[in-house]
Amino acid sequence: MSKVQESQFWTELRWIVIMNIVRTLSLIVAILLSAIPVVAQSTDEMQQKAIQFLEVTQAVDGSWTSPDAVGITGLVTTSLLLSGKTAEDPLVKKSLEFIVASQQPTGGIHAAASRHQNYETCISMLALTEANKDGRFDSVIKKGEQFLRGLQWDEGEGIETTDGAYGGGGYDSQQRPDMSNTQFLVEALKKAGVAEDDPAMQKALVFVSRAQNLESKHNKLSFAGKVNDGGFIYTPAKGGESKAGETENGGHKSYGSITYAGLKSMIYAGVGKDDPRVTAATEWIRKHYTLEENPNMGQQGLYYYFHTFAKTMSVIDSDEFEDAAGHRHDWKKELTDKLSSLQHTNGSWTNPADRWYEGDPNLVTAYCLIALHHCR
């Protein structure tokens, strides 16, 4: 081998060695990077963009959307607190002052002429309990709790325990109860420190159990066995109603957001995971697991569904969820990725299927921030 050839040989060998070292280092870096919680970083970025949007849309009085929409302000405030803001943050402090100022002599926290008194009070209490680290809102929360107890449909409304409306929460004392109002009622009472065996919680459980399409000792209403799939309907009052419509035999179709709401509410009220009601609801969810739509409702109420899905999955306390086909889902990552794909460039979210106020970016952005909190 000539000196020139020898020199070329060693040069090529050095390059081969160097390239192998580079490849090895690249592989090590890739492995290390894969261990970094990319989803958490993505969540931080999404949250920051959403918060910046809400900073711009807050009104001078501390509210969002409208001073008459106390519930929306309550949801936004809760979402900000769950996203790392404190009660002393100027944005949150102003909204908390608005919420407290909205408390009526009755103890309800709502606009004076509101027909959504239960919703608004419950949601406001969720914000206040989240901000109440030093007890500053104790009296406001207690008054709100007493108001909700009086609003709950029970003997005070002159109805029998066998009535489908018994135990539920409605928009106000005049409008029949439903599962959406009742899930917020149960959550507000729980956050206020009301025990699982408290009469108000157990009355609510009666209503929730009757909203389930499951014929049992807990539900003997006429429609209970017509679908019997373990899912939930909007209300068992006045013969029952589902926003998803009826079956051919006159049953009420179960649907996603309300089934998650029902399952969460039963667990909050102390029903164990081995109870037939919980297992039947969980099985319905396993069969209908999706983040592409609100099952049996399509795109209607999609973000309410995301919000309730995340809360319920957190209550189930499982990082992975196995669907009926045996596929395991990292639901936190799947939901985070889904929300990331839907976030607008200005940081907000909205639903083109504008039902239940989901065309309002303040409301929907609050839903998403709450959902992201549960994806941590």
pLDDT in tens, 218-252: 999 999 999 999 999 999 999 999 999 999 999 99
What pLDDT score does 28 carry? Answer: 37
Q: Is the pLDDT of residue 174 over 60?
A: yes
Provide CB contacts within 8 A for 283, sequence distance 6+: 230, 324
Mean pLDDT score, 168-195: 95
Q: Contacts for 104-107 with beta carbons within 8 Å, 24 or more apart?
A: 106/147, 106/150, 107/143, 107/144, 107/145, 107/146, 107/147
Which of these, 260, 86, 239, lies nearest to 187 by C-alpha position? Answer: 260
H helix or E strand, kind and range, residue 294: none
- Structure-block tokens of residue 110: 């709502």
pLDDT of residue 15: 40
Query: Are residues 101 and 226 part of one domain?
Result: yes
Residue 34 has pLDDT above 50, yes or no: no
The CA–CA distances, whole Å, from 179 to 128, 149, 207, 219, 236 equal 23, 16, 8, 15, 9
In tens, the pLDDT along 102-117 reads: 999 999 999 999 999 9
* Residue 6, domain extent: 1-36
Q: Specify the CATH number for the domain of residue 255.
A: 1.50.10.20
83 lies in the same domain as 185: yes
Query: What pLDDT, on a 0 to 100 scale, did the predictor assign at position 2?
Result: 56
55 CB neighbour count, 10 Å cutoff: 12
pLDDT digits (tens, 9 = 90+) for 358-371: 999 999 999 999 99
Distance CA 119, CA 99 (A): 13
pLDDT, one tens digit per residue, over 122-158 is 999 999 999 999 999 999 999 999 999 999 999 988 8
CA–CA dist 299, 282 (Å, integer): 22
Query: Which of 144, 203, 207 is CA-nearest to residue 180?
Result: 207
Average of per-residue pLDDT across 158-181: 93
Q: What is the pLDDT of residue 20?
A: 42
Alpha helices in 238-318 (DSSP H): 256-268, 276-287, 302-316
Q: What is the pTM of this model?
A: 0.88
Residues 153, 17 share a domain: no
Q: What is the pLDDT of residue 237?
A: 96
Is residue 3 scored above 90 in pLDDT?
Answer: no
Mean residue pLDDT across the chain: 90
- Structure tokens of 199? 């009469």
Region 351-358: mean pLDDT is 93
Whether 157 and 241 map to the same domain: the answer is yes
Q: Based on the fold, state whether residues 30 and 84 are members of the same structural domain.
A: no
Tens digit of each residue's pLDDT (9 = 90 or more) over 61-74: 999 999 999 999 99
Asked which of 37-51, 72-86, 184-198 is least confident by mean pLDDT, the reply is: 37-51
Residues 16 and 55 in one domain: no
The mean-pLDDT minimum among 18-22, 273-277, 337-341 falls in: 18-22
Same-domain status, 93 and 238:
yes
Model pLDDT, residue 317:
73
Sole residue written with tokens 């009469």: 199
Q: Are 63 and 188 part of one and the same domain?
A: yes
Cα 76 to its chain centre, rounded Å, is: 13
Q: Model confidence over 182-201: pLDDT tens digits?
A: 999 999 999 999 999 999 99
- pLDDT above 70 for 1: no
Q: What is the pLDDT of residue 21?
A: 44
Provide the number of structural domains found in the chain. Answer: 2
Residues 327 and 193 in one domain: yes
Do residue 255 and residue 281 come from a single domain?
yes
Give yes or no: residues 28 and 172 share one domain: no
Closest CA to 244 of 234, 312, 266, 236: 234
Q: Same domain for 26 and 173?
A: no
Q: Pull the structure tokens for residue 106.
A: 């009755």
H/E element holding 121? helix 117-131
For the segment 274-302, the average pLDDT, to the nearest whole number, is 98
**pLDDT tens digits for range 296-332:** 999 999 999 999 999 999 999 778 999 999 999 999 9
Residue 338: name the closest of 373, 297, 293 by CA.
Answer: 293
Q: Residue 6: what pLDDT?
A: 52
Assigned token pair, 301 = 């109420």
Residues 253/233, Cβ–Cβ less than 8 Å: yes
